[in-house]
Chains A and B, each alone.
Chain A
Amino acid sequence: MVAAERVAATVAQGVHGRRRVGVGDSFWQYRPFVEGDAASRIDWRRSARSDRAYVRDMEWEAAQTVCLWRDGSASMDWRSGKGLPEKRERAELLLLAVASLLFRAGEQVRLIGVPGRVFRGRGATRPLAESVAVLREGVPAPASLPGWSRAVLFSDFLGDLEAVRAAVGRLASQHVRGHLVQVLDPAEIALPYAGRVRFLGLEHEGAALISRVEAARGAYRAALAERQAALREIAARAGFGFLLHVTDAPPEGALLALYSALAHPVAAA
C-alpha cells in the first residue's frame, strides 16, 4: 500500500500541470445570494466588501465511481525470477495506486466482487487494500454496477477467453466503460527456457512437455500475440481500452498511461 501511495504520488505530480483546476473541494466562484440559499452559505468576508451578500461556490461534481478488479486466480501467483514481483503483487500495486489517485481526485471506488462497499476519501486506500487481498475470482463476478461508471480489470488474461468475453460484455451492457490491463511476467512473453522442459500449469491445466523450448519459442510468441489480439478485439467491442504491463517495467509508466486514459473519456462506443 505504501508502494501504491508512492507510485500514485509520482503520477499525481506528473499529471498536475495538465489537470483541470477546481476538481474537488477547492474554490470555484462567488455568486450573489439568491433566494433559497441557506444563510449559512453566505461568505461574510466577501460580502462585507460590498453591499450585496455573496455565496462561495466550490466546484462540485457528482463523484465518478470507478470499479476495480484484479484477477485472483493461482496463475497470478507467479514470477519467473527472484528480482521480479509476482503478477498478483504488481496488479494489486497498480490497482491501489489508481485508487489512491482517484481518492485524491475525489472519486469513489468499488471493487467488483465486493458488493455494496464504496471506498472514498484519502484514507480509504487501507480498507481497499484489505478488501483487495481477499479477491479470489478468476473472472469478474456478475454484479450490478452504477451505470456510466468506469471499470479497470487487472489480470494476466491467460485463462478462458470466453469467460473474459462474457464478463466484459456484461459490464458493457451496464454502460460501463473501462480498461483491461494485462499484467504479464517477462518470461511469459519471451519464454526464456531452453532444452527439454516439462511445463506445469498453476491451475491444473495439465502439463506440456516440450523437447526443445528454443524451437517452440516462435510459435509460443505467435500464440501469445494471437491471444492479445483477441483481447483487444473484446475490449474494442465493449468500448474498453487495453493495456499491457510487464512486471519488469516500472509501475509508474503503466499507472500514468492508465490514469491518463481514465482522465480522458474513452472514445465513445
Chain B
Amino acid sequence: MEFDKDSLYKLGKLSKIQIDDSKLESLSSDLASIIKFIDRLKSIDTENVDPTSNSLDQSLVMREDIASDVNTADEILENAPQNELDFFSVPKVIE
C-alpha cells in the first residue's frame, strides 16, 4: 500500500486530523512501514477460525439500576472549553 498525498488527506479527513504538508513524506513512509509489517498476516489461514473480540469468558453482568448523583451537569461542564445555559457550545453548524 502506497500512501500518496490524496490517500493521506482522505485518511486525515476520516480521522479529523489535519495532515501537515511538511510531514507528508515521513508520514507516508511511517504508515507504509507499519502496513507492510501487518500485511504479513495475510498468508495465515484463518478460514475456519472465529474472531475473538474480548478474552474474558464471561457474559455481561447486570447491576441494580440505582440513581446516584455523580457527574452532575455542573461538574461536567467545568471541563468544557465553552458552555452556555447548561449546554456544551460549539461553532454554528447551520448556515
Q: Answer whether A and B are interacting partners.
A: no
Binding site for B on A (CB under 8 A): none
Binding site for A on B (CB under 8 A): none
